[in-house]
Chain A
Amino acid sequence: MRRDIFQAIADPTRRAILVLVAVQAMTPNALAEHFNTTRQSVSKHIRILAECDLLAQKQEGREIYYGLKIDKMKEIDIWLDQFRKLLETQFQQLDDVLHTLKNQKK
């Protein structure tokens, strides 16, 4: 299932997981210790983050370590780019308003 990054970080637990694995790669058990919730619930959040392609998996013996895929965070730059485009749209509308006002003055 294709999910998007904004869905991933909409949830406070998932944001906290991202912040934790950004510091160092962790196993699901180690992550679960940070939350006042069930291991199953943390696993579900990990799965969603993995589906969003935000987590890098590394197998060490019997343990799986999850780290952060930094590249994916570049989507936030795309999001800021949307803000830039919104401003561009606003300012082009203002150009039209100013043009009309100047013509009224003449």
Chain B
Amino acid sequence: MNLFFDFTVDKAAKTVYITREFDADLSLVWDAFTKAELLDQWVAPKPWTSRTKFMDFKVGGRRFYAMVSPEGLERWSIQRYTSISPKTNFKMSNAFADEHENPDLPGSDWDYNFSEQDGKTTVRITIYNESLARLEKMIEMGFTQGFKMSMTNLEALLSTLSSQN
């Protein structure tokens, strides 16, 4: 089955826009994004696994979880839910953390929108990153070869370059 997927990056706005269609009804897709036992089944790119220590899906609630490598290396992240409209939208802030729940700020802001048509559900995700380094870390978890370097001030470089064009 061919499911719609779109990925757009606006470097100047430090924002990534993602749209993806899923062959399932809204309730199911909403659950897959908002229930720990389901999230743990898909968010970690294999061979990594996801392990949620706790998840309190309510406004002001948090999810504390680790991506675990095959060698047992743990990469903790903490998410805080800032807005929830059931089965329509939720927003969260996301940051890497240490194993004691101390976030490594600034993180990124994620906005999820859900809509259903003809039994298919479309999810639109907007990711705002204060630093593109956040994305770089996510890639590192998925692709353990390469991408090992920090790019803390990459966005400054990118904006300098884009202002020249």
Contact = CB atoms under 8 A, between A and B. Distances in A.
Given A22-B157, A73-B161, A80-B135, A98 B149 contact: no
A88 B5 contact: yes
A97 interface: yes
A-side interface size class: 35 or more
A9 B28 contact: no
A22 B160 CA distance: 7
A93 B157 CA distance: 34
A94 to B, nearest CB: 4
B139 A82 contact: yes
A91 B23 CA distance: 11
Q: Which of A23, A91, A98, A101 has the most CB of B within 10 A?
A: A98
A9 B151 contact: yes
B136 A79 contact: yes
Interface in B4-49: 5, 7, 9, 16, 18, 20, 22-24, 28-29, 31-32, 38, 41-43, 45-46
Contacts of B22: 91, 94-95, 98
Chain A contact residues: helix, strand, loop or mixed: helix
Q: Which of A7, A23, A95 has the most CB of B within 10 A?
A: A95
B43 A90 contact: yes
B60 interface: no
A86 B38 contact: no
A84 B7 CA distance: 7
B24 A86 contact: no
Interface of B: 3, 5, 7, 9, 16, 18, 20, 22-24, 28-29, 31-32, 38, 41-43, 45-46, 135-136, 138-139, 142-143, 146-154, 156-158, 160-161, 164
26 contacts: A4-B146, A7-B149, A12-B152, A18-B157, A19-B160, A22-B157, A22-B161, A23-B160, A23-B164, A68-B161, A76-B154, A76-B158, A80-B135, A82-B139, A83-B135, A86-B143, A88-B5, A89-B142, A91-B22, A94-B42, A96-B42, A97-B42, A101-B28, A101-B31, A101-B38, A102-B28
Interface in A1-51: 4, 6-7, 9-10, 12, 15, 18-19, 22-23
A-B pairs with the 4 shortest C-beta distances? A10-B149, A86-B142, A93-B42, A98-B24
Contacts of A56: none
B41 A86 contact: no
A76 B18 CA distance: 18
